[in-house]
Structure 1
Amino acid sequence: MDTDERRGTARATSHANVPRELWVEEPAVRRRMADPVRTAAVRAVIIASLTIIQGMIAFLCTLAGSWLAFPMVLSSVGSTVVATWAVLDVWVTRQVWNQRHGVVSMPSSTARQLRRERRRARRTARAAARESARIRRRERSRGGRLSEA
């Protein structure tokens, strides 16, 4: 039984023979993370999940009074330090990638303003060089005519 039939409405004839798609592609809302940042994030998630599992085992061993409780608690403390380091690694990797591969340009971005100033300075320098070359050519052509006369 179709959804339209259950609601008591008639099925639309234009869509009667069109099969419904199981998977519909939607455009991404956010840009994809850079590869180094993504690998660091996956590494951090795996380490953090293993740390949580290890902490749970240490807790259960402590409740059971097992001899394994003390070594597990010690290793859980060490794993917590490593997991914290892994999360910081994601943050540092992201910052380094952003610095190396440029900042996101927004109208208020200082990087965009600096680029505009550099471009303007280059344009004026090129224009000044063209003008001085033009003046030199003109002087050479005049000097040649004057020496012949």
Structure 2
Amino acid sequence: MGTAERQEALEDGVAARSTGDGGAPVRSGAPKAAGFEGPRPARATAEQQEYYRPLWIEEPARRRRLPDPVRTAAVRAVLIIAVTLIQATVAFLCTMAGSWLAFPMVISSVVSTVVATWGVLDVWVTRQMWNQRNGVVSEPSSTARALRRERRRAQRQAKATRRAQERIARKGGAGQLSQSHS
């Protein structure tokens, strides 16, 4: 949608909110079918433009989005915790009602609590692993930063060696010492 189309949609939205005789909102025209252009709404007045307010205002995110593996683990943990809470509620209600289902539900709730604890620990461990591997922690003593520094140093050294070999090959081996016995 281009700028002109957005402006046209804005004007249509303002015209759709304009008030009729009784002060109630009035919609302008019928739904537009293919090839049918309804009557063009008049330009919005200053009063009508003040009435128009967007439904939401885009704001930049305060925090960056979680990495995919961490987000996957977090969603899994939330689902497990939700099921655990439902089981605990059912176990409580069955116990209050004196149902035979109370004992199996209490046992399954205990097991679910253990699994939910594992799910939360999984999120924590996954986040720590991702931070360590991708160097998000910006401390001078970061392991990932030191590994990146070593990797860059090795790449620079390999590049310099490769350039030297290419330079020697271009010269035709003129810089090499050889023993020739004629």
How high is the TM-score relative to the length of structure 1? Answer: 0.63
Give the aligned partner of residue 36 of structure 1: 69
2:116 aligns with 83
5 Å matches for 1:15-94?
17=49, 19-94=52-127
Q: 1:96: Cα distance to partner?
A: 2.5
Q: Alignment partner of 2:49: what SS?
A: coil
How far does residue 39 in structure 1 lie from its aligned partner after superposition? 1.6
Higher relative contact order (CA closer than 8 Å, sequence separation 6+): 1
Match of 2:136 among 89, 104, 111: 104
* TM-score for the superposition, normalised by structure 2: 0.54
CA pair 113-80 structure 1, distance change in 2 beyond 3 A: closer
- Whose helix fraction is larger, Structure 1's or Structure 2's? 1
Q: 1:85 to 1:123 in 2, by over 3 A?
A: closer
Q: Which runs of 5+ in 1 are unaligned?
A: 1-13, 144-149
Structure 2 unmatched runs, 5+: 1-45, 178-182
- C-alpha change, 1:17 and 1:125, in structure 2 (3 Å) is same
Deviation at 1:95, TM superposition (A): 2.2
Aligned residues: 128
- Aligned mates of 1:96, 1:110 — CA distance in 2: 12
The 10-residue stretch of structure 1 (116-125 or 74-83) with the greater mean CA deviation from structure 2: 116-125
Give the C-alpha shift of residue 52 in structure 1. 1.0
Q: Following the alignment from structure 2 to structure 1, what is the Cα–Cα distance between the partners of residues 143 and 98? A: 61
Q: Give distance in 2, aligned partners of 1:124 and 1:36.
A: 34
CA-to-aligned-CA distance 1:61-107 (integer Å, 9 cap, x gap): 1121111111111111111111111111112222222233x112536
> Which whole-Å CA distance do the structure 2 matches of 1:82 and 1:128 have between them?
54
